[in-house]
């Protein structure tokens, strides 16, 4: 029996694959590589010494999905695949509704067709919109303030409806706070295309000298130093939460949402300071205007995950910064780094990776 990982070549999915394989699970990866590189998959194999099947299939390709389910004995799905850039979702909302919502509808239809009724879904703290109270608990009011957030909310709702109609489904909805960091090996990490939207990859690129300075989006928030406060969570802790969620749904029917965060908030200035310490580099910054849609404070109450999933974040802000810096320094151009071109990476367009599985 295997776990299907949609979006397994992506930032969080790749870290989840490593932990799944190291825990002895069989893994099948499905990805269309729209925001990732097959090189990440080669690195997963190098790190774990384990083989797994990979399908270059789009969630919107229903026949392709059926092919994956027909060829493999899948017991559960970790559903990471999705588009995640908030700004782009405002400019091209239909692309987001189509990819994220319709893609998930197809996936659930095929899961139902093959009697696979266990899913761990990648949701986001964005479903809390501008939270009324912090720390945020799972029963806080849900709302979305941009199309990306609305796709996450819609998917959460459709998953509830699926369970209402068929109580054999077992679903864990994980609401991630701010995933950062990288695997401690420095072999896999976040590889944003173009200018990073998020704080940590931006800081890392400034430290590496790829960008001259960071813009701090607002220093007049009602917080300890005036800058925005977030709950940064190490991606390996986040990956491990998925293994706990899989165990949980094995034992519990129903649909449950869990906050996946540390419960501790850090300001932008604290993150800059921690990164300077970890990297030994100075991070030049200027204070600029607030970014549209940003909130002052966002951090989790992670008690439910601690008590029900038996999961707790273990890696602190220093590990988050050190591991990000190791990844950034070892891979200055992400997966496009020179060393990889010598390893003859699998081409996205290769006939080998079209729909048929390739084994890594
Ligand atoms: P990512 O872009 O690195 O990974 C997503 C993967 O899904 C990519 O490999 C991409 O190629 C693939 N994909 C996208 N659309 C697909 C489709 N139609 N068919 C097949 N594959 C497709 O993003 P990530 O940071 O790893 O995020 C994973 C999930 O977690 C996403 O659903 C995202 O919305 C959610 N999430 C991420 C964050 C974050 O800050 N990174 C925070 C909260 C929630
Ligand atoms: C962003 C997304 C949110 C998503 C979350 C986790 C937006 C508007 N929101 O939120 O939907 O759920 O990531 O992936 O994109 N900052 C700077 N300078 C920068 C970048 C960020 O000062 O160049 C600040 C922000 O104002 C914020 C903090 O750093 O206070 C963190 O920003 P970011 O990493 O983008 O995460 P979120 O704002 O939480």
Q: 121: which 2 tokens? A: 């879904």
- Which of 1, 70, 11 has its CA nearest to residue 201? 11
- Residue nearest (by alpha carbon) to ligand 2 atom 7: 86
For the question of residue 114 being annotated catalytic, the response is: no
Using the atom order of ligand 1, give the atom closest to the CA of residue 8.
9
Report yes or no: 178 and 233 within 8 Å, Cβ to Cβ.
Answer: yes
pLDDT tens profile 138-172: 999 999 999 999 999 999 999 999 999 999 999 99
Angle, helices 199-207/317-330, rounded to nearest 10 degrees: 50
Using the atom order of ligand 1, give the atom closest to the CA of residue 178.
40
Q: Structural domain of residue 355, as residue ranges? A: 2-359
The catalytic position among 148, 202, 232, 335 is 148
- Which of 87, 256, 107 has its CA nearest to residue 175? 256
Q: How far apart are CA 296 and CA 263, in angstroms?
A: 16
Q: How confident is the model at residue 358 (pLDDT cuts 50, 70, 90)?
A: confident
Pocket test for ligand 1, best of 81, 103, 136, 174 (most atoms within 8 A of CB): 81
Domain holding 92: CATH number? Answer: 3.40.50.720
**pLDDT of 331 above 90:** yes
Question: With 0-12 CB in 10 A as exposed, 13-18 as middle and 19+ as buried, what is 215?
Answer: middle
Ligand 1 in contact with 259 (CB < 6 A)? no
Q: How confident is the model at residue 360 (pLDDT cuts 50, 70, 90)?
A: confident
The structure's pTM equals 0.96
Give the N- to C-terminal CA distance of the chain in Å, as an integer.
18
| Domain count of the fold of the chain | 1
- Which of 257, 304, 258 has its CA nearest to residue 156? 257
Question: With 0-12 CB in 10 A as exposed, 13-18 as middle and 19+ as buried, what is 14?
Answer: buried
Residue 80 CA to ligand 1 centre (angstroms): 5
């Amino acid at each position: 029996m295997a776990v299907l990982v949609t979006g397994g070549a992506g930032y969080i999915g790749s870290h989840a694959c490593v932990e799944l394989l190291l825990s002895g699970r069989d893994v099948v990866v499905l990805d269309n590589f729209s925001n990732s590189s097959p090189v990440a998959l080669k690195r997963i194999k190098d790190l774990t010494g384990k083989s797994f099947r990979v399908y270059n299939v789009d969630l919107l390709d229903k026949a392709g999905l059926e092919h994956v389910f027909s060829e493999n004995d899948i017991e559960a799905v970790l559903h990471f695949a999705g588009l995640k850039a908030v700004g782009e979702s405002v400019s091209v909302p239909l692309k987001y509704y189509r990819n994220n919502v319709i893609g998930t509808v197809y996936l659930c239809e095929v899961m139902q067709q093959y009697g696979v009724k266990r899913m761990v879904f990648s949701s986001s703290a964005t479903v809390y919109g501008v939270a009324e109270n912090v720390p945020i608990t799972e029963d806080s009011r849900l709302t979305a303030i941009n199309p990306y957030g609305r796709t996450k909310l819609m998917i959460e709702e459709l998953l509830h409806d699926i369970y209402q109609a068929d109580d054999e489904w077992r679903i864990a909805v994980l609401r991630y706070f701010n995933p950062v960091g990288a695997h401690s090996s420095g072999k896999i990490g976040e590889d944003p295309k173009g200018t990073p939207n998020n704080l940590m990859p931006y800081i890392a690129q400034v430290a590496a000298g790829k960008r001259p300075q960071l813009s701090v989006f607002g220093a007049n928030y009602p917080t300890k130093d005036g800058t925005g406060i977030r709950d940064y969570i190490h991606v390996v802790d986040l990956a491990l939460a998925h293994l706990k969620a899989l165990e949980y749904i094995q034992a519990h029917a129903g649909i449950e949402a869990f906050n996946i965060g540390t419960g501790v908030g850090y300001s932008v200035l604290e993150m800059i300071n921690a990164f300077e310490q970890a990297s030994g580099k100075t991070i030049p910054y200027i204070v600029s205007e607030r970014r549209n849609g940003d909130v002052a404070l966002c951090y989790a109450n992670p008690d439910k995950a601690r008590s029900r999933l038996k999961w707790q974040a273990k890696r602190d802000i220093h590990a988050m910064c050190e591991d990000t810096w190791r990844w950034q320094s070892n891979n200055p151009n992400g997966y496009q780094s020179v060393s990889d071109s010598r390893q003859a990476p699998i081409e996205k367009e290769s006939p080998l990776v079209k729909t048929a599985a390739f084994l890594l």
